[in-house]
Structure 1
């Protein structure tokens, strides 16, 4: 490319000299314009032809330079790939060399360890052991291999097994004793649980029997001409009520007063189911008789009056008849200052 540029520069200088000579000739032919025009046309044609030829040559040279550049680039790429490949091989060779060096080091360490073991166990050096081994006949190789296989089947030998056996035996005995104690405690707990379950079932059955009997006696007193029964089911305690000729009625069809009397019958049945027939109850009833008419209210008060000697009943009520049947009335009043005061009045015994 540099040579081409130098040739172009030389060509330019030659053309410049020719132009100078042409300029001198123009002065001579200035008197003849037609000859001058013809000469200028011929010179222009020659210059155009020469320029085109030079341009084509330069294009050809540029193509050759581009092709050469492509070849150089391809060779450089090939060399780069070979360089990378060689670098990988070199790294692999270095790794193999390091691995071999480590193996040699381990072999030397193993040989040194074997020499120390031979010295400690047999009192001889590794070279002495090798010389003694060479004295034996080759027929001993089979026996040696057999013994080596038997020794290998033995596996690793724990040299501390005898000293550890006593500790493991004591630990086994301790754990066995602890396990026996735990099993005995578990058996005792199961026995206690079964005993408590049996006692609970027995007492519940006994108490439920008394409650059911008392309920059968209490329902006719609360609901005249009616009878009730208590039964056990998987869902709990079921209450059955028979209202005279109406037959057995489900609880959902009972009126509010009937439900209240039935609930009070169950409550008093629980109180009366205590052993000895003495309820000894302390009961708080909050407007339990609010839904009762006069007749049912009288029955309820008669039941309470029949058991007041064996218990205490605190009734919250707005019924005058309930207040008249009470022994003591308690009320809350508000004085002029706005403070509340509890007042009481005994109705019987005055």
Structure 2
């Protein structure tokens, strides 16, 4: 069963209907007891206080309102009962679930109006039914009231449906924005923290390897671990701040600084200090900020995979402008390559995220084992700009 609404407006409608019906029937002699008419009017409008009134309640409302009119009770707020119920139902239900019931409700109300023996004409006094001898084409109001009530019911449903569509579109945009933000945060965490942990693991292994015979080298490795862990922790702290920063009026937490081609030498040096021989060839004159960020992410993920999976001793990084409109990013190592198991060859989250990022700029990405080692190659337009897709993990 639908929950009762807590908003005051539907209850105000019920109160107006109740008080107005009592007042309009208090000074009029009716063939039926006035409390019965008040009860019919109350039942006709009562569904508006439900949180999600079902469509069939339109028929109940129309039956109560039609019975009210047919019984000859005084006109008044009863005319708004079925329209407001139609508005409430259409605002909470898809059109296909209420449109048929609205037609039934309109027909019942129109029938009740046409059968009302007390509907006055343009002159004075009652008439004997809509088709009686006193009814004329200019004097009969019942037909116009029936048509008017049906038109108001249809208009109420149309307005509510339009509002529902607008609300759903706004909610969908909000959900998409939240999803995009989550993807961006996942990309930041994966690219930054994931790479940092891989470098820390490599540096720790190198420190353990030389700890006894070369304490100074071990010290350098530990210092590199400290610097890398601090950077990764700062990034993690910023991401957590963005997740928990929900206080109204507060400044949102800043995103992690975006890296570009100028940061590649420092990235390569951090990996190189852990013992992996990495060469860098950087020959790009000018590129857009989006293209630089994508190139950096490809190199970062490529080196992370070398550290984690390849078992390599050497890696080559190349970022070169092959044409005036395109640059090619290549990360190649001398690790296991074709000797990797089929499970290890499956594209992981990092490669899926890189491909999504590169393709959003109009580029392509290829990744796969070679006879010796593994190669990652991305073609990125120099002036590429995202078309609105989320940068991040798919």
Same fold (TM over 0.5): no
| Higher RCO by CA contacts (8 Å cutoff, separation 6 or greater) | 2
Q: TM-score, with normalisation over the residues of structure 1? A: 0.27
Whose helix fraction is larger, Structure 1's or Structure 2's?
Answer: 1
